[in-house]
Amino acid sequence: MNRRALTSFIAALMLLPFFLLTGVQTASTPAYASTPPLVVTLAGPDIVANGSTNTYYINITGGPTTSASYNYSYTATIHSANVTGSSVSPSTGKSSSGSFPVNITSTTDAGIMTVAVNATFSSPGVTVNKSVSFLIKVVHPVVIRVPIYNSGPSGIRNVPVSLFVDGSFVATQVVSIPAHSSVNVTFDWVSYSYTPGAHTVTVVIDSNSTLLFSNGARQTSFTIYIPGNTFVEIDDLLITGIIIAAFFFVLIYFRKPKPRK
């Protein structure tokens, strides 16, 4: 082996520990770039009646779940122009499943309510956080009440009663009625946009029950009317436009240059 080759061989041997050490350090560093991201969802109605309480599920998945020990946790808060009456219960939680049932009470005012969820994945040596916001529309509902009768000698429990509007399913209530009694079943019909005019409401009692409506049947239908406000809105817009036009007319008139004498 000549001197040049020997020198190159010795230099390679001297650099070998450096390369080996660098490789160990890289392998022992957590690969955060490849960590599966957290996915946070809120399952439940996206439109609700003002002041109502509804059940939702906060679901958190993802993160480096190959660890032998890990858990998910969350903190939830409500934001709105007016948060009066609103709440999330429970507002915090921790579990290994990542599924959390919560009761969300909407604001007393109609509008958009934001549910902010801060989710965390935790395992030994690794913590992953994610913040997600969900929008829920809060509206003033159309309240529908229907009396149901139990003329039998025994009380009846947990009977499903369903509401349909214009043939579309809206909601189901579960009712219990003592013997020889009646109750008013109340439904909140919520919609992104109530169409003015007549709507057909149908309420159906479970066919296996002996409960009846006042007509002696397990189904009743009637018509409700939603008033329209299109003309009111147009009138308001026209009046506003007239006022603005009059203002500019007066402003231009008094700013006209006076004629020279």
Asked if 136 and 113 touch (Cβ cutoff 8 Å), the reply is yes
Q: How confident is the model at residue 37 (pLDDT cuts 50, 70, 90)?
A: confident
Asked if 60 and 119 touch (Cβ cutoff 8 Å), the reply is yes
List, for residues 227-246, the tens digit of each pLDDT value.
Answer: 875 332 323 333 333 333 43
Q: To the nearest 10°, the Cα dihedral for 67, 116, 45, 97?
A: 20
List, for residues 176-203, the tens digit of each pLDDT value.
Answer: 999 999 999 999 999 988 899 999 999 9
At 214 the pLDDT is: 87
Q: How much is the mean pLDDT over the chain?
A: 80
At 78 the pLDDT is: 98
pTM over 0.75, yes/no: no
At 125 the pLDDT is: 85
Residue 243: CA count within 13 A, CB half-sphere: 6
Q: SS3 of 18, please?
A: helix
List, for residues 249-260, the tens digit of each pLDDT value.
Answer: 434 444 555 555
Tell me which fold the domain 34-139 belongs to: Immunoglobulin-like (2.60.40)
Per-domain boundaries in the chain: 34-139, 142-226
Q: How confident is the model at residue 151 (pLDDT cuts 50, 70, 90)?
A: confident
Q: SS3 of 27, please?
A: helix
Asked if 142 and 193 touch (Cβ cutoff 8 Å), the reply is no
Asked if 229 and 172 touch (Cβ cutoff 8 Å), the reply is no
Length of the chain, please?
A: 261
List, for residues 55-106, the tens digit of each pLDDT value.
Answer: 999 999 998 877 778 999 999 999 999 999 999 999 999 999 999 999 999 9
List, for residues 68-82, the tens digit of each pLDDT value.
Answer: 789 999 999 999 999
Q: To the nearest 10°, the Cα dihedral for 230, 233, 235, 237?
A: -140
Does this chain's domain 34-139 share its CATH topology with 142-226? yes
CA distance 43 to 121: 19
CATH superfamily of 142-226: Immunoglobulins (2.60.40.10)
